[in-house]
């Protein structure tokens, strides 16, 4: 338990030092498994059962996907409404309403993440479709693997708005992997299973953010674009601040069905 808390504390301190994922309320910031079942049939697992949808090769044919067209290229992502329904509804509704069209990635830290979706362009703006925050949707089934898409927030409760971030970190340090193995999984199912640790080892990511931020999606195409944004964007400081003239643009985000982006038999 002490090691579990130490890991989370280290992550929280890192977030605070880098002004994590900010918002207006503060700072005015398994193996892969193929599935073809209908999204109407897809349900969250029974209590105590853990699956890792981010590692699946394909979502259901009629599952929603989001296509983020940026000035650096196109990023495509799956979403997981069965585990983070409010975050998914918020993101997809904003996308369908054109809220994100023309916005930017305003905070970029290579080896960590890229953050965008703020109409103010500086980490102080944006609101949810409900006009207020909607709380964390923490799931043992979703983790901050490389390519994970999650809701940004401040340290205040219910501070989610429109801002989101994409995890870019390509590696997890061996020392952290060892610590995760020691932590394991507690009686509530929180922690790091063998499958999660293996995924972090192979994919990269930022496990210290787990159980603190809401993961609601996963990039399935365009991580080269995420890397390009992270590696080539000029930043002003260690906090990843990007001046307006250098901010990569979100041209538009559209919503489609998976069958138009994956091959099914």
Written as one string, the DSSP assignment of 77-100 is: EEE-TTT-HHHHHHHHHHHHTTTT
| pLDDT tens digits, one per residue of 13-67 | 444 444 444 444 343 342 333 333 444 444 444 444 579 999 999 999 999 999 9
What's the pTM? 0.86
Residue 139 above 70 pLDDT?
Answer: yes
Asked if residue 21 lies in contact with residue 213, where contact means CB atoms within 8 angstroms, the answer is yes
Asked if residue 193 lies in contact with residue 55, where contact means CB atoms within 8 angstroms, the answer is no
Tell me, what's the pLDDT at 49?
Answer: 59
**CA nearest 129: which of 84, 155, 95?**
95
Residue 11 above 50 pLDDT?
Answer: yes
Torsion over CA of 255, 24, 156 and 115, rounded to 10 degrees? 50
């Amino acid at each position: 338990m002490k090691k579990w808390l130490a890991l989370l504390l280290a992550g929280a301190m890192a977030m605070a030092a880098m002004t994590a994922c900010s918002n207006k309320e503060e700072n005015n910031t398994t193996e892969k498994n193929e599935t073809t079942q209908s999204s109407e049939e897809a349900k969250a697992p029974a209590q105590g059962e853990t699956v890792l949808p981010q590692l699946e090769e394909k979502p259901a044919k009629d599952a929603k996907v989001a296509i983020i067209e940026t000035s650096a290229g196109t990023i495509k992502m799956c979403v997981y409404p069965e585990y983070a329904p409010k975050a998914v509804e918020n993101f997809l509704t904003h996308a369908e309403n054109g809220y994100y069209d023309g916005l930017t990635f305003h905070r970029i830290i290579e080896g960590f993440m890229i953050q965008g979706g703020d109409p103010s362009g500086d980490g102080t703006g944006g609101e949810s479709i409900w006009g207020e925050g909607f709380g964390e949707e923490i799931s043992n089934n979703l983790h901050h693997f490389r390519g994970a898409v999650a809701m940004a927030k401040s340290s205040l409760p219910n501070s989610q708005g429109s801002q989101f971030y994409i995890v870019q970190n390509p590696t997890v340090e061996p020392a952290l992997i060892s610590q995760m193995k020691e932590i394991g999984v507690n009686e509530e199912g929180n922690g790091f299973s063998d499958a999660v640790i293996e995924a972090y080892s192979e994919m990269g990511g930022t496990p210290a953010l787990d159980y603190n931020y809401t993961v609601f999606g996963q990039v399935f195409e365009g991580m080269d674009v995420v890397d390009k944004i992270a590696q080539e964007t000029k930043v002003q400081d260690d906090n990843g601040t990007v001046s307006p003239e250098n901010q990569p643009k979100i041209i538009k985000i559209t919503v489609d069905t998976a069958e138009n982006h994956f091959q099914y038999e």
